[in-house]
Amino acid sequence: MSRLRVAIQKSGRLSEPSLALLQNCGLRFSRSKDKLFWYGKDFPVDLLLVRDDDIPRMLLDGVCELGIVGQNVAREVMIERNGGEGLDQLRALDFGQCRLSLAVPEGSAVQSAADLGGRRVATSYPGLTRELLAARGVQAQIVELSGSVEIAPGLGTADAISDLVSTGSTLRANHLVEIEALFESTAALFGRAAELPADRRELFARLLSRLDGVLQAAESKYVMLHAPRDALGAITALLPGAEHPTLMELEGDPDRVALHAVCREALFWEHLEALKAAGASAILVLPVEKMLA
Ligand code: PRP
Ligand code: ZN
């Protein structure tokens, strides 16, 4: 029977949310001793736990069909491979937010990307950094490092760095200041739909449909409220991302109705206050656990 392989980060910022997402899709794994390969128990999807930087190459080499990795890492590998072979971003995910930024030592004369012409920039993302600096008309000397990029200026091997910033604590700890963000990134699900063998397409589509259900459910809320009949239009218009609400009679109150709707976009206190101002009452907001369109 045909199976799919999904690669996720073994340990790091993306590993826990990546695993949680797949588990929310109903996947269960038997964890093997070496911990690199987890067999999918109820659904024919297996897991590979690897270094995040290896995931795009594994996808390109056909070692796995799907992978969850930062957009920055995927772009870097695509540039490295001359942009010839592409990975498809199948879904952007709501975790792993970070940015590739330029940073310089506190007190440096360099204040923007434009000041970096001819200077040394240390980075683990040489392709992306070169491309994004070139787009700004800047030709810098790229110093490629595989890790600990933040210590390069202190060691005198670079004038600036181009590195991932999430909370900014790594920069602060190394007395570096961010001068310009080059690339905003989040985690995403990547694959190569065109390369997928025919016997795996149905499984692939099924997994993506479950994933969409999870992603939509995370934002969606089930809303119940009472509304005056004559304010129904205004109230429905205030519900973010709701289609076709259900209306029910209220026993003994002919002027008001009960309205139930699924809101597919984030619902904030401001929305509830606006609903109340429009005449709604008894407003209840419930989480949605699963959704299948
Ligand atoms: C990045 C980057 C910094 C750190 C920044 O590494 O290289 O070291 O995160 O995060 P902060 O702003 O929250 O301090 P990452 O965790 O991606 O590790 P990796 O490069 O080994 O994957
Ligand atoms: Zn990494």
User: Which protein residue has the closest C-alpha to ligand 1 atom 3?
Assistant: 164
Ligand nearest 56 Cα, by number?
2
What is the chain's mean pLDDT, rounded?
94
Q: By the 8 A CB rule, do 147 and 109 touch?
A: no
| One fold for 4-95+187-217 and 98-184 | yes
Q: By the 8 A CB rule, do 221 and 286 touch?
A: yes
Least confident of 57-66, 76-85, 151-160: 76-85
38 CB burial (10 A radius; 0-12, 13-18, 19+): buried
| pLDDT tens profile 30-43 | 987 778 999 999 89
User: Which protein residue has the closest C-alpha to ligand 1 atom 2?
Assistant: 164
Task: Read off the tokens for 269.
Answer: 């206190």
Residue 85 has a pLDDT of 64
Which is the CATH superfamily of the domain at 98-184? Answer: Periplasmic binding protein-like II (3.40.190.10)
Pocket test for ligand 1, best of 13, 55, 71, 170 (most atoms within 8 A of CB): 170
| CATH 3.30.70.120 fits domain 220-287 | yes
C-alpha to C-alpha distance for 288 and 240, rounded to whole angstroms: 15
Residue 84 has a pLDDT of 55
User: Which protein residue has the closest C-alpha to ligand 1 atom 8?
Assistant: 170
Residue 151 has a pLDDT of 97
Domain extents for the chain?
4-95+187-217, 98-184, 220-287
Which of ligand 1's atoms lies nearest the C-alpha of 52? 22
Which of ligand 1's atoms lies nearest the C-alpha of 73? 22
When pLDDT is averaged across residues 117-131 and rounded to a whole number, the result is 97
Q: Is the pLDDT of residue 210 over 90?
A: yes
Alpha-carbon distances, residue 258 vs 141, 235, 250, 269, 285 (angstroms): 66, 12, 6, 20, 14
Q: What CATH number does the domain located at 4-95+187-217 have?
A: 3.40.190.10
| pLDDT tens profile 264-282 | 888 899 999 999 999 999 9
pTM over 0.95: no
